[in-house]
Structure 1
Amino acid sequence: MVNIPEYYAGKNVLISGATGFMGKVLLEKLLRSCPEVRSVYVLVRSKAGQSPKTRISEMINSKLFEKLQQDQPDFAEKIIAVNSDLTQPELNLSKADQSILAENIDIVFHCAATVRFSEPLKDAVQLNVLATQMMLALAHRMKHLEVFIHISTAYANCNRELIEEVVYSPSVDYRKLIDTLDWMDDDLVSTLTPKLIGEHPNTYTFTKSLAEYMVQQEAGDLNIAIVRPSIVGASWKEPFPGWIDNFNGPSGIFIAAGKGILRTMRASNNAVADLVPVDVVINTTLAAGWYSGSQVLNRPKSIPVYNCTTGGINPFRWGEVEYCINMSFKTNPLEQAFRRPNVNLRSNPFTNQYWTTVSHTLPALLYDGYLTLMGRKPRYLTLTCVSCTGQSTWKITVWAPKNMSSMKSCRGCLLHANTSTS
């Protein structure tokens, strides 16, 4: 079996969501570790008056791509921006672009998705289900396609205590849901959303579950694999430690705690904080593409699923996270902190609500009053409300994702990848 760089050599790769957090890292890692890849097509929409080409040009001039720029000064020539919009029919691709992709693409990485927990159901279905369905339809037309990698989430099936590496049937038929949402107005959809999503805590996990099942049902003869990362955080090693481009997810919590804005949070100290660095997820994704693409003649009967999680093999509990946050920011305080960092995790909802009022709401009101008297814009009560809203999106549950396939893929990566992949 060829190693990973050899497999991707000469291949034309398509990436959706390349301007997102994981998509950027995937693009950089693919070009840097697989220098012989022929070209990388990226689906990008126009935004804020900027063309897809301009957006990509600005993105690759960021710090994330500095190492790649040093190693391969002409790497940008391999990136082909394709105007596309996942909210539009046929992904808003022109007939010419559809033809080019159908004739040339060998590998697809579908990373695009909305990760907002509070996304209205209609929008979440459009971006996470219908867009994936249109990507599959496009993939069926690709004459040389070897593998289609769908990026999901380990929490797509968080209504289950044990999450194995299989695709589960959702409680709702995605076809009927799509038809129903088509004629419903937004107010009615909002009213029915809690009933429709059932045991899922939000529309994000619900629609990602539907997308997985839809991929399984409409795969046909496509060679498909699904990668399910858990809570994706800053990079571990590549392209350099600690890289992140947003304050979503755990990074936002850490910064809010470091600034002294977040003092209390509802969580169990003994629950596993299933955090995984973004570069680990991307390495797993590329390894999954290599492994599935190399096994075309010996494909498994069911779609391979890779739970890219850490809790089962190297558990890190929220109590440890609390300790590390407090010690780290006390030793290395942030500039312009609101107050001394001292976050506490509490599993009791009533105790947490009390300390939310005492440690968040009242200090924010007092400080905003001071800012108003000084003629400045009040802002801390808004930050407190955002923090509380983010915490209330999830309910406390302990999941146990199994990740044997992911471990197998990573072992294969170590056995077959040469030193140029690191």
Structure 2
Amino acid sequence: MSLCEWYANRMVLLTGVTSELGRVLLEKILRCLPNVTVCVVLRSQNGLSIEDRLKKIFASPGYERLKQEMPNAISRVKTFEGNLLYDNLGLSDKDKASLKEVSVAFHAGGPHDTVLEYCQELPKLKSIALASSIFRHRGLIMENLQNEKIPELPVALVRFSFVGPAHKEPKPGFVEILKGPTALMVGAGFAYGNSSFQAEIIPMDIAVNTMIAAAWEVGISNGRKPMTYNAVSLGCTWEDLIKNNRRASWTFPYPTFGIRGMTSIGPLHWILVLLLEWLPSVLCDIVLGLCGRKQRIHAEYKRVRNALQALKPISSRSWSVERNRVYLLQQRLTAADQDVFPVTAEIDIEAYLLCAAAATQKSCVNEDNLKIIRIINLFLLYAPVVFVVAYIASRTLLSHE
């Protein structure tokens, strides 16, 4: 049975929908599995009800395509007040009765113990797709449980590396949050690490496809033992990303004095960041302050530094990961399902980085910061020319005198 046929008319449970992965997963299910009803567990927060929080998710740029193609898709989402830290997810008896028809569960973020405990009470459950991280492990990361406490349930444990900008969906390069890999990819700052190591980044659309497909494979197998899938990364090194982002960082520059590159030499990294990133940021803010403008460039510098700091322990070591099961999963999908839910992809790195830089500039950049950096870059670009022209003109005038 094909993936789309198996999912038809099912009710699925989604927890962790407010995470980056969860939001993209919800959009993909609604857009590509039109007969599926999604039950979302949320909690009221900061004065917003669960309905308000769902509407806020739907208002994000990642849902523009869905709203154009399926304007009534939100009607297939049912919201339930709950909390992942509570027994039975903090659901009321009435809500638990409403969820008895759930046959597939997706957990996209947050603690999973209570989610797995609750799923044992679902009488029609066929599979659970559980998001995890390969960075929790050391040594060879194999395709089996490694010190993970998973009960005897039909679980697809999907391990991810860094989740990066989208390859194609919901639109090429789509990103909403500036994280370490994205900051490196768009040339926002100089990173610490070994550039010859594999870049452990997976595009977010490939990540959600892997979760959907893994849940399908576990469901049709009718097994009760957990299966582990180590999702496929970009397939290039950090150095490949840096070399191929020249066009992206020039066409869609990030509004900092960040320099492209990576080094594993601590003192060199510190000196370059200090002189070429921190110092220009501080000087720029001083000038802005003297001109009566808001000082904002150093704050952006710190934002990028904080993002790149999370990259340091990952890019400083090599990761050995078995990924045979995901490649076999791709082969098991029908040709039609492979087109809609690819779990592996051949990616043009330069084009991918260009789309990511454009999306980052649109979603993660303050427009005023961008204008300031553009003015400074133009000044730095043309100042030598102006100086030379002025020098030649002055020498010419003096010679005539």
Smaller-chain TM-score bracket: 0.7 to 0.9
Question: What do residues 307-353 of structure 1 show as CA deviations (whole Å, max 9, x unaligned)?
Answer: 00236xxx3111121122233222x1438x345x6412111111111
396-405 vs 57-66, which moves further: 57-66
Shift of 1:89: 4.8
Shift of 1:359: 1.5
Counterpart in 2 of 1:92?
90
Shift of 1:107: 0.6
Structure 1 letter corresponding to 2:31: R
TM-score, normalised with respect to structure 2 = 0.78
Matched, 1:147 2:131: no
Matched, 1:362 2:360: no
In structure 2, the CA distance between the partners of 1:156 and 1:351, relative to structure 1 (3 Å rule), is same
Counterpart selection for 1:303 from 221, 226, 233: 226
Q: Is the 8 A contact 1:5 1:35 kept in 2?
A: no
Shift of 1:360: 2.3
Structure 2 letter corresponding to 1:106: S
| Aligned positions, number | 339
Counterpart in 2 of 1:240?
171
Shift of 1:71: 3.6
**Which runs of structure 2 are paired with 1:190-209 in the superposition (5 Å)?**
none
Counterpart selection for 2:270 from 346, 353, 364: 353
**Which runs of structure 2 are paired with 1:8-157 in the superposition (5 Å)?**
8-37=7-36, 39-101=37-99, 103-113=100-110, 128=111, 132-157=112-137
Counterpart in 2 of 1:230?
161
1:408 is paired with a residue whose SS is helix
Q: Is the 8 A contact 1:238 1:279 kept in 2?
A: yes
Q: Is the 8 A contact 2:263 2:269 kept in 1?
A: yes
Matched, 1:413 2:333: yes
Question: What do residues 66-118 of structure 1 show as CA deviations (whole Å, max 9, x unaligned)?
Answer: 333344333222100111222445433222212322x22111001122xxxxx
Q: Which runs of 5+ in 2 are unaligned?
A: 343-401
TM-score, normalised with respect to structure 1 = 0.74
1:283 is paired with a residue whose SS is helix
Structure (1 or 2) with the larger CA radius of gyration: 2
1:244 is paired with a residue whose SS is coil
Structure 2 letter corresponding to 1:355: L
Question: What do residues 188-225 of structure 1 show as CA deviations (whole Å, max 9, x unaligned)?
Answer: xxxxxxxxxxxxxxxxxxxxxxxxx12x2xx13x2111
Q: Is the 8 A contact 2:17 2:23 kept in 1?
A: yes
2:191 is paired with a residue whose SS is strand
Q: Is the 8 A contact 2:50 2:79 kept in 1?
A: yes
Counterpart in 2 of 1:334?
253
Distance in 2 (CA, whole Å) between partners of 1:280 and 1:420 is 11
Shift of 1:386: 4.0
Shift of 1:292: 0.5
Shift of 1:4: 0.8
In structure 2, the CA distance between the partners of 1:291 and 1:333, relative to structure 1 (3 Å rule), is closer
Shift of 1:14: 0.2
Question: What do residues 34-73 of structure 1 show as CA deviations (whole Å, max 9, x unaligned)?
Answer: 2222x11011122232211122123224443333334433
Counterpart in 2 of 1:276?
202
Distance in 2 (CA, whole Å) between partners of 1:326 and 1:420 is 31
